[in-house]
Structure 1
């Protein structure tokens, strides 16, 4: 591959496979940067930097489909579906604008797509992220009709740390936004849901001590970790839910996805779907959206269209 040539899909697949189950944002972003620069934005209007709270991080961007929905299509007769998608970043980094490709892609698919940023550690601690998801969700519900969306068809999704926050905000009643109905569905992409397990299994998961990710957000009072682990706090009534992980996700993501699925089914009456995103690692599955590989995006779209 020459220095100026774009990598082919096969070359990207080989890079992903060879790199394996590691999380290296600069490396993976570099693979997809040329495609992100030329990604399709047609048919979408962006409304940026809308405040949903008082903190500088509490801002969101809205990606609106330009095309008017067909009035004869009962699927959109009461407004378009709305997707709230929450970025990742290990609880200590990340920004909604880094996932603009998600906004462009899902708006092109007919979803009013809302991407919020949220407060990060170590300046902010659990449950700040989930509280911000709830606040952005409440904003989306209150503004859905003005955006041409159906407030009864709000999907709440997140990836990595964003999935952890979405899981807490949707599955723990005390963190749900007041006077807002349950989501039409929640979609959790490669998240972490048991901070106690990650502390006790640092050796097996290859997590350093001290843990720069979890300790920055959950603190170092390890005795309190069970009280901050979503799997121990689920108390919501069942609703449609999708749990995914990447084929080359690190072990802790795969184990925790399985644990969350098992607990939802055996202890809480849920009937969630599961999906493995083949041929991808933790980051490539997201970077590929709206560029060269639609695997994750189509998995999420297919699930939402069924619900």
Structure 2
């Protein structure tokens, strides 16, 4: 069981680094997936048990997968819940199985939930599902070989927004976790509405409008995490990719500044070099520790 982070390597192996650079910040998900499909087809999965999907709620989307170390000696493991992205309207836990395989191989019980999607389910369905999945994980931690007192939440893109809302806004009742990792998330719905031209966001926005609605920008403040921060400080890692979408870079900086400057937090801020919005998570378990290295380091310091 590893308790230290993998060494950080930059850039990703050639020629992949050149291909990522050529795609730039405007890379499409299918193009990036095509680059990583051969690598993920060969990803290591030994030493890990993948459990049958489990239900954490009544809705068809409220299901989760569990990846656990096959051999556990002594003390219970840390537990991490990872929430996928998809612009609030799509995405599936199966597409992030590489994260489950990788973290479980490093001695971390890893839970990958699906959650309800817009437009059928609008704000605040996302953070509500984070809280529900966390409750399930706590209730089942011992049977999974995990310690319910050593839980970390993690999300990417829309999943990061859901995790951030759940643990930074008291109304969702999330407490007692060891920390949270927020990867390239949107945290200010009002800012995105006001800055669509600057950020290159389409109008109407099929993602945000489906989830947050089409109210005036002022009404979106009640749904904007940066405007509603009221939770007690906890360990946080905020990251974005070097070639990320512009709004993700801006909002990572804004969230960091609000937490550190006004709310007594001491968040960590990490730039995932050489990667774009999609490649950073796809690279996990392919031999590139650009994202997994900081994640394992955070868990080692806060949940071991």
TM-score (norm 1): 0.93
* Partner SS state of residue 9, structure 1: coil
Alignment of 1:259-270 (within 5 A): 259-270=254-265
Among candidates 175, 183, 200, match of residue 189 of structure 1: 183
Provide the C-alpha distance between the structure 2 equivalents of 1:295 and 1:120, rounded to a whole number of angstroms: 29
Q: 2:54 matched to 1:54?
A: no
1:67 to partner: Cα distance: 1.4
1:109 to partner: Cα distance: 0.6
Alignment of 1:7-22 (within 5 A): 9-22=13-26
Check whether the contact 1:182–1:239 (CA below 8 A) recurs between aligned residues.
no
CA deviation string 1:225-263 (max 9, x = no partner): 111000111111001110000000011000000000000
* Partner SS state of residue 241, structure 2: strand
Unpaired stretches in structure 1, ≥5 consecutive residues: 1-7, 72-76
Higher relative contact order (CA 8 A, sep 6+): 2
**Residues 48 and 25 of structure 1: CA distance in aligned 2, closer, same or farther (over 3 Å):** farther
Among candidates 138, 141, 145, match of residue 144 of structure 1: 141
Provide the C-alpha distance between the structure 2 equivalents of 1:48 and 1:25, rounded to a whole number of angstroms: 28
Check whether the contact 1:170–1:182 (CA below 8 A) recurs between aligned residues.
no
Provide the C-alpha distance between the structure 1 equivalents of 2:61 and 2:284, rounded to a whole number of angstroms: 24
> Which consecutive aligned stretches of 4+ in structure 1 deviate over 3 angstroms post-superposition?
none
Check whether the contact 1:90–1:161 (CA below 8 A) recurs between aligned residues.
yes
Q: 2:241 matched to 1:246?
A: yes
1:37 to partner: Cα distance: 1.4
Match of 2:278 in 1: 283
Match of 2:38 in 1: 34
* Partner SS state of residue 275, structure 2: strand
Provide the C-alpha distance between the structure 2 equivalents of 1:68 and 1:50, rounded to a whole number of angstroms: 21
Match of 2:104 in 1: 107
1:306 to partner: Cα distance: 1.1
Provide the C-alpha distance between the structure 2 equivalents of 1:15 and 1:220, rounded to a whole number of angstroms: 38
Match of 2:29 in 1: 25
Unpaired stretches in structure 2, ≥5 consecutive residues: 1-11
Check whether the contact 1:86–1:166 (CA below 8 A) recurs between aligned residues.
yes
1:153 to partner: Cα distance: 0.3
1:142 to partner: Cα distance: 1.1
Check whether the contact 2:284–2:291 (CA below 8 A) recurs between aligned residues.
yes
TM-score (norm 2): 0.93
Q: 2:293 matched to 1:298?
A: yes
* Partner SS state of residue 220, structure 1: coil
CA deviation string 1:137-164 (max 9, x = no partner): 1111111111111111000000000000
1:41 to partner: Cα distance: 0.4
Provide the C-alpha distance between the structure 1 equivalents of 2:170 and 2:132, rounded to a whole number of angstroms: 14
**Residues 135 and 23 of structure 1: CA distance in aligned 2, closer, same or farther (over 3 Å):** farther
